[in-house]
Each structure stands twice: as C-alpha cells, then as structure tokens.
Amino acid sequence: MTTTTPRIDKPRGKRRGGVMSSTGLYIATSVAAVLFLIPFYLLIRNSLSTDQEITGSDWQFFPTDIQWSNITEPFDDPTVDFARAMWNSMVVGTLHTVGVLLVCSLAGYGLARIPYKHANKIFYAVLVTLMVPAAVTFVPSFVLVSSLGWVDTYRGLIIPGLFSGFTCFLFRQYFLGFPKELEEAARVDGLGYWGAYWRVVVPNSLNFFAAIATITFINGWNAFLWPLVIGQDPSAWTVQVALSSYMTNQTVNYHLIFMATAISILPLLFVFLFLQRWLVQGIAQTGIKG
C-alpha cells in the first residue's frame, strides 16, 4: 500500500503579498529612474534650444527647431578655449586619480599591515585631518603653491590634493579584511611588503581600486574652487572654470552653458559605464570590517 505525501500549498496571502511587494518595488524603481533622468532630459533639451525657447513661457517637450549648431559653438567661442579646458581637466583628473590611488593605498597598506608601535597614533592623526574644514587649509596651501611657483601649472593643480584622509581610511579598512594567507604565501616566496603589495594585494583588489578611482576622478573633474584660484591664466583653466565664464554680470548664454555642460559630462559618463561592473563590487567591499 503506497502512501502519498499531502501537498502543502503556500498561503495565498503570502503569495499575493510577494507579488504586491515586487510590483511596488518596480513602481518605486521606475519613479526613481524617471526622477533621476529628468535633469538629463532638461540638459539635452535646453542645449539644443535657443535662449528664447529656454526662457520662454510656452514650454515645449522638445524644441521645434533643433539647434544642431549649438554642438560646435563651445569650441568656436574665441573668448574661451573650451577644448583646452577639457584637456586640462582630463590631465588633472587622470593624474590626480593615479596619484591618490598610489599614495593613499600605500599609506593604508602600511597602517594595516606593517607592524609599528605608533601606527595607531598615525592613523588617528589621519582621522583628525577629516575634521579640519577645507577652508582652513585653503589659504596656507595657496601660499605654499605660490611660493613654489606652481601657479598656472599642472603641479599646482594636482600635487596639493594627492593625499586624502578619507581615501586612506577606506584603504586601511579594506586591507585589514584582505586575506593574510595570500600575503604569507608571497613572503614564503621571498617577497617583502612592497612585493606582496604590488604582486599580490593590488591584482586581487582591482574591484576596490576601480571604485575609488571612479569616485576620485569624478571629484577631480568637478573641482572648481582650487582650479579657479590656481589656474589664473585662461590656458590653465579646467572645464568647470570655463563653464563659469559663460555667466557674467552682463550676459548669460543659456544654450551655451547647457551645451558645454552636456559635453563636459561625457567623459564622466564613459568612465562610469566602463567601470560600473567593478564600481558596484568595490563599493560593497568598503564595508569590510577589520
């Protein structure tokens, strides 16, 4: 005589609740996506419009006569060398990112792995720098850079910002959670701290490095106040300083500002799309406790 196991159905309330929760999640995600895309829509719409359509009372979803000539206008403006400003921002952002990754990762690795009786004190000193407002160190930094003759140079734009206390803190916390077995195997093979860092730690931490690189590059690209003070000559302007020059006390070129802004965010978009896979994984790894 065979016995059959009775089938146990899930309560309909839970099944219905799961569907409703999924539907609510999709709706909330869709609304958030639309709200996130509205600024980009306004940016594209206004960049291809005339000033009259931008400031007019009759709003249209898209301009009736698309101004394709606006695309080349930032590069044809004789008062601002926008192409030079884009190049300066690319050089500053790239070198700043590479320098921050090198300096802060080495500092974080040293604080996490090299035994030293004053390591904790140095780490606390790094944390104290996070509590000092940037406005307090702005003038002394400018005086130092000016005395070195670095005004209107890449050195003045890049070197003062190579160390970040917060980035150093993130690297230290990440390296505290890095598997020590890999480093111990490297030391068995005769590698020191530098060899273990460069040949073992860095290749196995590319996700975290990519996340920090993305955030650092975006911050360097969007920097305004320091490049404004250091880049006094128009040939040393970055893209953010060039964008500010389109707005004066006498005139405001709305379509030019929107188009130049749309062009200026393209490098950030490419960097984000290229590194987005590593970015999500790297940000998740910042929560590793040690």
Residue 249's CATH number? 1.10.3720.10
Categorize the per-residue pLDDT at 9 as very low, low, confident or very high, splitting at 50, 70 and 90: low
For the segment 138-154, the average pLDDT, to the nearest whole number, is 92
Does residue 4 lie within any of the structural domains? Answer: no
CB half-sphere exposure, 264, CA atoms < 13 A: 28
Q: What distance in Å separates the CA atoms of residue 259 and residue 70, rounded to the nearest whole number?
A: 7
2 domain residue, yes or no = no
Q: What is the pLDDT of residue 270?
A: 85
- pLDDT tens for 264-273 read 999 888 888 8
pLDDT at 290: 41
Is residue 161 included in any domain, yes or no?
yes
Whether 208 and 142 map to the same domain: the answer is yes
CB 244 within 8 A of CB 224: yes
SS3 content of the chain, % helix, strand, coil (to 5): 70, 0, 25
The total domain count for the chain is: 2
Residues 225 and 274 in one domain: yes
Question: Across all residues in the chain, what is the average pLDDT?
Answer: 84
Paired tokens of 11: 């309560």
Predicted TM-score of the model (pTM): 0.81
What span, in angstroms and rounded, lies between the C-alpha atoms of 54 and 46? 6
Q: Note whether 139 and 233 are same-domain residues.
A: yes
CB 221 within 8 A of CB 268: yes
Q: Do 136 and 278 fall within a single domain?
A: yes
288 — pLDDT class (breaks 50, 70, 90)? very low
Helical segments of 190-265, H only: 193-196, 206-222, 225-230, 239-244, 254-264
pLDDT, tens digit, 9 for 90 and up, residues 99-142: 999 999 999 999 998 888 888 899 999 999 888 888 888 899 99
Are 90 and 211 contained in the same domain? yes
Let me know if residue 290 belongs to a domain: no
Q: Which residues lie below 8 Å from residue 28, measured CB to CB, with a gap of 6+? A: none
Residue 5 lies in a domain: no
Q: Indicate if the pLDDT at residue 50 is higher than 90.
A: no
Task: Kindly give, in sequence order, each residue whose CB lies less than 8 Å from that of residue 6, ignoring residues fewer than 6 positions away.
Answer: none
* Amino acid, single-letter form, for residue 196: A
Is 98 found in the same domain as 61? no
Whether residue 205 is predicted with pLDDT greater than 80 in this model: the reply is: yes
Q: Which of 70, 88, 115 is the last residue of a domain?
A: 70
**What pLDDT is stored for residue 52 in this prediction?**
84
Hey, CA dihedral for 153, 159, 162, 163, is it positive or negative? negative
pLDDT of residue 167: 93
| Cβ–Cβ < 8 Å for 22, 40 | no
If asked whether residues 110 and 221 sit together in one domain, one would say yes
Q: Specify if 215 maps to a domain.
A: yes
In a domain, 173, yes or no: yes
Residue in the structure block whose two tokens are 């829509």: 41
The reply to whether 85 and 34 lie within a common domain is no
Report d(CA 30, CA 131) in Å as an integer.
38
**271 in a domain, yes or no?**
yes
| Spatial distance between the Cα atoms of 181 and 21, rounded to a whole number of angstroms | 43
Tell me what pLDDT residue 239 has: 94
Residues 165 and 21 in one domain: no
Q: Which domain holds residue 29?
A: 12-70
What is the model's pLDDT at position 15?
54
Q: Radius of gyration of the chain from Cα atoms?
A: 26
CA pair distance 71, 77, nearest whole angstrom: 12
User: Considering 70, 86, 106, which residue would you say is the last residue of a domain?
Assistant: 70
Whether 129 and 244 share a structural domain: yes
Q: Are residues 62 and 90 in the same domain?
A: no
* Whether residue 126 sits in one domain with residue 215: yes
Task: Please tell me the distance from the alpha carbon of residue 113 to that of residue 103, in angstroms, as a whole number.
Answer: 15
| Mean pLDDT calculated for residue range 38-47 | 88
The pLDDT value recorded for residue 21 is: 73
